[in-house]
Structure formats: structure tokens, C-alpha cells
Amino acid sequence: MAEEKQSSGFSWFLAGLGLGALIGVLYAPKAGKETREELISSAREGTEFLKQRSRDAVDQMNDLVDRSKTQVNDYVGRGKEYVERGRAQWDEFVNQGRQFVNDQSGRVSAAVDAGRQAYQSNTSTNQEGV
């Protein structure tokens, strides 16, 4: 019984759909040829619109790419500056360290020489006094 109601309802739906199509054809404001030409014209306009939108999108993407390249180059330039500053500071620290080591080695050499002379003079006076 439920199947009869469903198939009956579906049948009425199909009948209504066919009747609507028939009325649409009978009361169509334009002839078939005019309707086809209008559809073709609309399709061409749509195609042209899509082509233009595609060109606009490509132009926008190119602008974004150019701006991105500029920003990346700017960041790379800044990075190079920071690296150069770091290298310069590192070289300065290394040179200061070398200078400090050279100064200290000179002082140590002088102290060793002074200690050697003191030892030699102390041992020579001890040997003379013996």
C-alpha cells in the first residue's frame, strides 16, 4: 500500500513536470533560433568574462610575486649586513685576543728572564761565599 502511494506520487510528479515543460514551450516568448543565438551569445560573453578575470588574476599574481621578490631581497640584504657585522666583531675580538696573548707572553718572557738572572746572580754569590 505504501508502495502504491509512493509510485502514485512519483507519477503525479512526472506528469506535472511534463505539463510544465509543455506549457513552457507553448508560451515561450522567443523562437527556438532566437533562444539558441541568445544562449550562444551568453556563452561567449561568459567565456570572455572568464578570460578577462583570468588575465586580471595573472596580473595580480605577478604583482604579488614582484612584491615578494622585493621583500625577500630586502631581507637577504639585511641578513648579509648582520653577517658582515658579526664577522667584523668576531675579527675584532680575535685580534684583541691575539694582542692580549702577545702582551702577556712578553710579560711572561720578561719575568722568566728576570727570574733566571736573579737565580744566576744568587747562585754565583753563594758559590763565591762558600
Instruction: In whole angstroms, give the CA distance from residue 5 to residue 11.
Output: 10
Task: Write out pLDDT tens, residues 73-103.
Answer: 999 999 999 999 999 999 999 999 999 998 8
Residues 38 and 30: beta-carbon distance below 8 Å? yes
Q: What is the mean pLDDT of residues 48-71?
A: 94
Instruction: In whole angstroms, give the CA distance from residue 14 to residue 114.
Output: 121
Q: What is the mean pLDDT of residues 25-41?
A: 74
* Cell of residue 9, nine digits: 506520487
The residue ranges of every structural domain in the chain are 58-123
pTM: 0.44
* Cell of residue 55, nine digits: 588575465
Instruction: Report the pLDDT value the prediction gives residue 126, as an integer from 0 to 100.
Output: 66
Greater pLDDT, 90 or 13: 90
**Coil, helix or strand at residue 96:** helix
**Coil, helix or strand at residue 130:** coil
* Cell of residue 26, nine digits: 507553448
Instruction: Report the pLDDT value the prediction gives residue 5, as an integer from 0 to 100.
Output: 55
pLDDT at 1 over 60: no
Q: Which amino acid is at 87?
A: R
Residues 42 and 35: beta-carbon distance below 8 Å? no
Instruction: Report the pLDDT value the prediction gives residue 88, as an integer from 0 to 100.
Output: 93
Per-residue confidence at 67, pLDDT binned at 50, 70, 90?
very high
